[in-house]
Every structure is written in C-alpha cells, then in structure tokens.
Structure 1
C-alpha cells in the first residue's frame, strides 16, 4: 500500500520575460508557462501520481516574481518516507536548470492548507526609470525589468497625492481589465498599502552620470483584480506626467467602469514584480507540525 501524499508549501521566483505567464499552457504553444517547467521538474522526483502545482498568485506574460508560492502533493512509493524540505528545494532546482526559475524554500503543511486561499496578502512592486529620452538609453542590465515612461521626470508628489485615493476598500471596476477572465468576481478590493519611493537600479552607480533615476511603486492587498496593478501604476504615471490630475484617480474609482480607463495608459508588463505572498507564519508552522 502506498503512503498518503505529503503536502508542501513552496516559495519560488522567476524571470518572466520568456514565459507566457506563471500558469501552465498547452505544450504545443510557442511560449510555455512557469508551471509547465515546475511540474516537468517535479516529475523527476518519481512520484506515484503526477504532481500539480496549485499556484497562489497568477502573473501574466513578461511579469516577474521575486517570490510567488504554490502547494504541491507528493506521493512516494510504499515504504518511502516523505521528502525532507531541503531535498525538495535542492532536487527541484537541479532539474529546473537552466531555466530562470528558482525554488527558494519549502515547508511541510497539512492537507487542509491551500497556497491561494490561505494567503493573507500579496505585494507587487512596479519599477520605473526616468531620465530616458529613448528606450535605447535603458541600461542593458535593466532591460525587461523596468518601464521608462516618456518625459524626463515625473511629478512624484502629485503621484503620491493621487495614490492616497486608492487606499482602502473600493470598487476597483475601472482598474479591472476589460477582457477580465472572471468578470463575475466582486470588484471590491482593499488596498492596504501604496508607496512611491526612490529605488536603485542594478549597478546603478555605474550610470549615475546619465541622469537616470529609478522608482518603485509598491501595492499591497489580500488580492487583486486582473491587471489591476498595471492599470493603477499606469494611471499614477499619467498623473506624474501631468496627463491626469490627482483628483482624476478618485473620479476613475467612482466611475466603476473599465471602459472609462484612459486609453494607452496601462503600464507594460516588464516593470512588474510579484514581491511576496504573505501567510500567518505561526499557522504555517502549526500546519507543518500537524502534518508530521
């Protein structure tokens, strides 16, 4: 008789440029999802049944993750103990080479734990660079990792004023994609944090002379609507460029209509990072103890 499957919570990161997104795609597609590679690597562990990754947070094509999460069930053959967490991490990373995907950590959890529904919050960061008159001025090490909106600078105080309207619980219908895959979902979301702050680029001290400045827009909520972060980031940049007044963000919220969102304003995927998925650490530890 086979042993019951063991459930693990995995944290992982990826460079999203070459993938169709994090979710799996049909294998005959020109671009595959990160999940395709994760599950292909997991099958090398020789489980009794195929391993499926239940991913906590969807990301689109070109979006990166500093830390996403998923849970998996791994059933080993009769007489074999569950894998230690450290073996899960090292084995999956070995089989993921040379993909720009890395398992960061693994935790044994109980069979009731769900990576998506147990998450307390998710934090996204959108990276900007100013001072570029042409996209060719973006440093080679920053390409596909930030957005260089038109104009030499942004009115950051105006953006910060506008961001305050987004805080709290609102109907974010205007900031939901018109082509939302799940239009029946409630548009009510609670944005717990919006920060706009200076940042540093990769080896930025080597090109300070060029006048480039890097910025981060950080958003935290329990969950987000489809493309909500990119639409909020694009609207805030439009405020920084003087195309919108800060009060227009409040007006867009009150419209509650995705068609009211200004055309050609959504931020591109390349600057967006899923920074973290937060759980109750004590609860995860208790789940792990219960599982053992």
Structure 2
C-alpha cells in the first residue's frame, strides 16, 4: 500500500428487508445489496481509487444485522492525509442517509487484516413470537420476527434439542441442499445455542399481552449457508411437538439435507447478525 492508503475495519448495521442481502449485486439489478450502497457512499468522499468493501459475514435477502463488519482500503485524492476514524464514520453516514444502513464504527487496522478470515466468531439471533399469526403482529414487529405458533411452544424441549447441536459436528443436515456448498466443509463448531425470553416493541400494551417473544442465539466461528434458519425451523418443530429432542440428534447424525422433510427453513425476517468478534477489538 502507499503511505496514504489506509485499511479500516468498519462495523455497520442495516434493516435487511429492502436489500438483496449484504453482498454486492450487479449495478443494473432492481434491488441492490448493502455493499453497493456502502461503496457508493465511499465514492462520494473524493478518493484516489475505488473503495472495495470486503464483507466479513454474508446475510441473505430479508436478513438484518445489528452489527456486521468489513474491511476497506481508502486513499484520498491529491495525497491528502488519511481520514480519522470518526470523520470516516460521519462522512459515510452522511451519504447513507436515505438508506436503512448505518456505519457504527471504523478502526484503522494493518494492511494484512482481513475482516472475514480474522473473525473469531459470529453471533446470530433469531426472533420468534407465539400467540398470533403474522397478520396480527404489531406493525413495528413485521419483518423483524417470525410468528412461529399461534399457541405456545414447548421451550424446555427446544432447549434440550438445542444442546444436541453444541460442539463440533457435521452439520450437512442443516445446510442448504444446493451446489453452493459442494466445496465447503460441513464440519462446524457451535459454541452457543440458547433460547431465552425476549420482548417486543409493545410488551405492555393490553392488545398484545398474549404475545411471547423468544430469542434463539447461535454463536460459532462460521456457519453453512442457511444453517441458522434451518436449525431454527427444526427447533420450532420440536417446540410444536412435531419432533423430539432425540429425533433432532438423529437428523444431525443423518448428515443429509433432506433428513428433515417439509418446510425446512425459517423465514429470513426473524434473523439478525448480532456481532462479529475479533481478537483485541472491542
């Protein structure tokens, strides 16, 4: 790199409903990715070259991020000194104003730092609600959770089943059955799988007092394509009594994406990338 080119680790969040996932899409596509807008905002900063964001964690259409990350190399025109971290954040957010995207923080890192490969872990939260169907959700919760069951779920059984997923396993049964996964190892380590009560935007409003929100939290260094949404759907099936915790283990040990028949994936709406962790970076 030149002396004036600096690599930044950028943390950002977005409301994923209106975007074609986080990854860059062709510029003429009707619905663009979050990366497109980050790079368009950066290009308005009068840079010496094109700013290319290297995203740490892929999210699909409709999936949200409380905090995703990327690294980007930035060199200003005319040999001007590098942006301070605060100025870069403010400048990017100024040009992102029309979008449901916000830069949270920027940190100068070494030229060899890679947002994807240096990540220690990724934490996802899947939000589900019981006590209503999708059309009865408060308007501020739509596209932000899955109305999984009009009655209640057997949470203890779901928690027991979630424990079967912890540790290092072949997660082929919970990957998307398409060619995208052919050359990727299905061996992953799940560090955390919790189911905890949560709250919605209107937890005390009498009209919604029968609603119960739950957070399904998953942490691992990396995940297979759509793994979290498929694990969530299987856990909800346990909560509905359609599967037993033992059958959940049998499905995983089958190592077959078709082992859990029927509707095998939870909707994108309820999934949030919560954080990406790095060594020594808060």
The runs of at least 4 consecutive aligned structure 1 residues that moved more than 6 Å come to: none
Contact 1:180 1:226 in 2 (8 A): no
How far 1:150 sits from its partner (Å)?
Answer: 3.1
How far 1:203 sits from its partner (Å)?
Answer: 2.9
Please state whether the residue corresponding to 1:122 is helix, strand or coil.
strand
Contact 1:3 1:76 in 2 (8 A): no
Contact 1:230 1:268 in 2 (8 A): yes
| Matched residue, 1:118 | 118
Aligned residue runs from structure 1 range 1-292, under 5 A: 3-132=3-132, 134-207=133-206, 209-281=208-280, 284=281
CA RMSD of aligned residues (A): 1.3
Please state whether the residue corresponding to 1:166 is helix, strand or coil.
coil
How far 1:185 sits from its partner (Å)?
Answer: 0.7
How far 1:75 sits from its partner (Å)?
Answer: 1.1
What is the distance in 2 between the residues matched to 1:90 and 1:13?
A: 14
What is the distance in 2 between the residues matched to 1:277 and 1:211?
A: 34
Distance 1:32 1:83, change over 3 A: same
Number of residue pairs matched by the alignment: 281
Contact 2:131 2:211 in 1 (8 A): yes
Contact 2:203 2:209 in 1 (8 A): no
Q: Which runs of 5+ in 2 are unaligned?
A: none
Which of the pair is proportionally richer in helix? Answer: 1
How far 1:124 sits from its partner (Å)?
Answer: 0.1
1:196-237 Cα deviation digits (max 9, x unpaired): 000011132224654001000000000000000000000000
Please state whether the residue corresponding to 1:163 is helix, strand or coil.
helix
How far 1:172 sits from its partner (Å)?
Answer: 0.2
1:71-95 Cα deviation digits (max 9, x unpaired): 0000123431110000110000000
Contact 1:167 1:190 in 2 (8 A): yes
1:237-268 Cα deviation digits (max 9, x unpaired): 00000111111111011111112232213110
Q: What is the TM-score when the length of structure 1 is the normalising length?
A: 0.93
Contact 2:4 2:81 in 1 (8 A): no
- Which deviates further from its counterpart, 86-95 or 208-217? 208-217
Q: What is the TM-score when the length of structure 2 is the normalising length?
A: 0.97
Contact 2:4 2:82 in 1 (8 A): no
Please state whether the residue corresponding to 2:218 is helix, strand or coil.
strand
1:166-215 Cα deviation digits (max 9, x unpaired): 00000000100012523211000000000000001113222465400100
